[in-house]
Each structure stands twice: as C-alpha cells, then as structure tokens.
Chain A
Amino acid sequence: MSNSLLKYASITQKISMSLLGLFLASFLLVHLTINLMLMLPDGGESFRAAAEFMGTNPFIMVFEYVLFAAFFVHIVLGIILWMQNNQARPVAYAKANVSETSFFSKYMIHTGVIIMLFLFLHFVHFYFAKIGLVDASATYMFEGHEHPDFYTMAIELLKQPLYAVIYILSFLALGFHLNHAIQSGFQSLGLEHSKYTPAIKSISTIFALIVAVGFSIIPVFFLIQG
C-alpha cells in the first residue's frame, strides 16, 4: 500500500521542499537586482560588472553549484510528491471538489513545470554560453580576454516579442508559485504564529508581486524603447 517512491517521511520531504524553496526564492532577489541593471542608461557597464563579479568571485562560483543542486532536488522532490499525491486517490470524484481553498495552492506542479521549462531555456541561452558549450552570440573584451557579452545577449533576446511573451508568462507563473510557496514553506517548517502568520501571508504575496512585476517590466521596457 505504501507510497514507496521515496523512503522519506512525508513531513521530511515537505520540510526539504520548504528549505530549498525558500533558499531559491532568496536568490531570486539577487538575480532581479542584477537584471534591473539592464535598464540603467550606462551602456551596460553596471550589468557587465555584476555579471563579471558573479562569474569570477570564488564564493559565488561555489554557491552556483549549491544553487544548481537546490534547483535539482526541489524539482525532483516536487515531481515525486506530485506522483505520490496522485496515487493517493486512484478514483476521481464524479463531481469535482468545490471546497474553498487558495487558488494557487492547487497548481504548484503546473506553475513549477512552466518555471522549469523556462529555466531550461535560460540555461541554453546563457549558462551554456558561459561554460563554452555553445558560442556566445555577442562578446566583448575584458582584461585582454574575450568574454560572452551577457548584456547584449540579454537585450537582443528581450527585444524579440515572442521571447518577451514567454519571459513574462514564465514570471507570471513564478509569481503564482511564490504567492503560495512562501507562506506554505513557513507552515511546513512549523513556523506558524497567531500574530505573525497573517503578516507572512501578505509578505508572500508582496514578494510574488515584486518578482513577477520586477522581471516582467524589463522586456516591456525594451519593447517600448524599440
């Protein structure tokens, strides 16, 4: 009878999901800050400096692998949980459930898959160029070496209407994901408080809005700028 896909207790899996998810969410703010630099009118100087720092700082380079591992485990665990949950109700109801719940909480796997697909696209565009797996579409000289020019690459991509739409939709999905995820992460960790929990729920929504709107304005900015 048991859900033997993974021999960890359900709560252990949920706690792991939460810790990894909250860690990934905190990284989003760093990424957002750097991305917003794309819109600075300095010809990409600050953005390139930030990208250079992220690519060469030894601490960040180690951190990068931790980040990849976190993404990987969060995704795999998410899929395992989803499969276990599907097995728990083999016969569906004839009349679909109408209980009042938070809307986004029911679509975590769906928004999660959209984010995962975008992440893959993002890897193909940037990370593969960074590690030299594919040729960078633009380069610049830095300290006598040719470097992939992420500033030009990003702007070229964001100016394409199709990419801009994919980008915005992906961050919309991420916003929906985060809106439930942050407060849910606190609940799974047992961090529940009669006074602070309502505040955490608001922070969850505000955080989701900042991420979704913050990232989405960038392609809009470049599309308007032409």
Chain B
Amino acid sequence: MDLTLKIWRQANTKAKGKMVDYKVTGVSPDSSFFEMLDVLNQSIIEEGGDPVAFDHDCREGICGTCSLYINGRPHGPDSGITTCQLHMRKFKSGDTIYIEPWRAKAFPIIKDLIVNRGAYDEIIQAGGYISVNTGGVPDANAIPIPKVDSDTAMDAASCIGCGACVATCKNASAMLFVAAKVSQFAHLPQGKIEAKRRVQNMVATMDELGFGNCSNTYACEQECPKEISVSHIAKMNREFFAAKLCADVKDI
C-alpha cells in the first residue's frame, strides 16, 4: 500500500504546529497502524529528521495510552477499538490519512501527537476512590451484589481513560469519562460514604479544568473503544441532581 500522511507536527506545548505531508510506500495491509508509523519514523530517523512523537504503551487496547485522531475520528475508522488495535487493511492504497492529536483546551499538546491527559488524573483525585477499612483482608463475596449491578459497574469500569470521548465531542466535554467513573461506584455498595461528595467534586473539577458541556450528541458513545453507554451520563446526572437537592451539610 502507498499512502500520503498528513501529520500534525508541533515541537512543544508553546510552539506553533502545522500539518506536514509524508509519503509511505510498500505498507503491508496486515500491519497495524502503529507499525506503519514505526516504518515512517524509521525512515525519518535515517534521513536525520525528528521522528513523529505519538503515545502508545500496551499496544493491545487495554492501557488507554494511544490517542490518535485519524481521518476525523478518534482511534480511526473502526469502532470499538483503540488506535493500537487498528490495522492498515481498513485503508486503501492511495489514501490520504489525516493524523492529529486530541484537541481540547484541557488536553494541551506536549509534542506532535502527544497530549497531556493529566486533567483526567485530577478528576480522579477529586473523588474517584472509595474508603476501605484497614486490617484483615475481607472475605470474598462477603458483600452480596446483584449480578445486574456488578455487570453495569463493570461496563462502566471498562473505561481506559483514553480521552476519545473528549476528542470527538463537539464541545470537548468529558461527561462520558466522568460518568463512567461516577457510575462504576454508584452501582456498588462500596464507596457509598463519599457518594454525594464524589459526584459533586468530580463534576466541579471537570468544569474547572475547562472541558465543555454535554449537548447529548452521543458522539462519545460512538467512539468509545470500550463502547461505554451514555446511560451512565444519565446515571451521573441523577446522582448529581440528588446530591445537590438532598445532601447533608457535610457532603456539600
């Protein structure tokens, strides 16, 4: 396969970036998208240039590190996968492929295609935890949880925090991410002590960091590599509403 790549190049957070054209030839349709980029980088290095910086770690869709906005979609043209799971057979020889970083005020670019997603860590620090007693290890299954609840909590917990929801949202809203993190606890008996504070603090932090508001376009659900449902957003809205309306003074 022969391809034209249009890639965002930016030396650092402050520098002005631009789209740069590259040609890659002889790409195997069986290679992964990252292998194709590795080949490109190898040739850039051999020519004495600066290789394209992009985030990746596990390369098997579990860590949430990879984050490329490919041809107008986060994680590229396939659904339910991360960029590292994307294969070149999804493209045709002769295609032009646009490769850009996530674009959001809350995710500043570090270099080229790498953005700083520390904002997500700040949201987690604001409430994405539960209180547990110290001491002996509790018995497994000591707290019975209905199967539907544990399944729903697990669906929410499958969020890998990649940021595709923010990247695709026309408002760069982090609602699906925050909703998944709130909802995974809201469905379980653990973590009830801080439930009301959790949702308020996490939403407040999300707002402070400069993410946009949710317009219910549901693009996030379409692009989430873990296919997390927007019903978790409704769940968070309920949690938030309830916390605002009937919290104790200590929970405000």
Footprint of B on A, CB under 8 Å? 1-3, 9-15, 81, 84-85, 87-102, 105-106, 108, 180, 183-184, 187-192, 194, 197
Contacts and interface: CB of A to CB of B under 8 A. Distances in A.
A166 to B, nearest CB: 27
A91 B103 contact: yes
B57 to A, nearest CB: 24
Contacts of A87: 105, 210, 212
B235 A192 contact: yes
Given A93-B103, A100-B222, A10 B215 contact: no
A84 B213 contact: yes
20 contacts: A1-B105, A2-B209, A3-B212, A11-B203, A11-B237, A14-B214, A88-B106, A88-B212, A89-B105, A89-B170, A89-B171, A91-B103, A94-B100, A95-B6, A99-B219, A99-B223, A100-B222, A108-B215, A190-B234, A190-B236
Contact of A88 (B69, B171, B237): B171
Given A10-B206, A11-B203, A94-B8, A190 B213 contact: no
A14 B213 contact: yes
B10 to A, nearest CB: 10
Contacts of A108: 215
Interface string B82-107: 00000000000000001010011110
Contacts of A180: 216
Main secondary structure of the interface of A (DSSP, over half): loop
Interface residues of B, number: 51
Contacts of B209: 1-2
Interface string B1-37: 0000010100000000001000000000000000000
Given A99-B222, A101-B219, A105-B216, A88 B204 contact: no
A190 B179 CA distance: 12
Contacts of B104: 88-89
Given A90-B105, A98-B73, 13 more contacts: A3-B210, A10-B175, A14-B213, A85-B170, A89-B212, A93-B100, A95-B100, A96-B72, A98-B72, A99-B73, A189-B241, A190-B238, A197-B231
Residue from A81, A91, A99, A101 having most chain B Cβ neighbours under 10 A = A99
A9 B100 contact: no
Main secondary structure of the interface of B (DSSP, over half): mixed
B43 interface: no
B217 interface: yes
Contacts of A95: 6, 69, 71-72, 98, 100
A208 B204 CA distance: 34
A183 B230 CA distance: 13
B52 interface: no
B214 A93 contact: no
Residue from A9, A11, A101 having most chain B Cβ neighbours under 10 A = A11
Contacts of B8: 94
Contacts of A2: 207-210
Contact of B234 (A3, A84, A191): A191
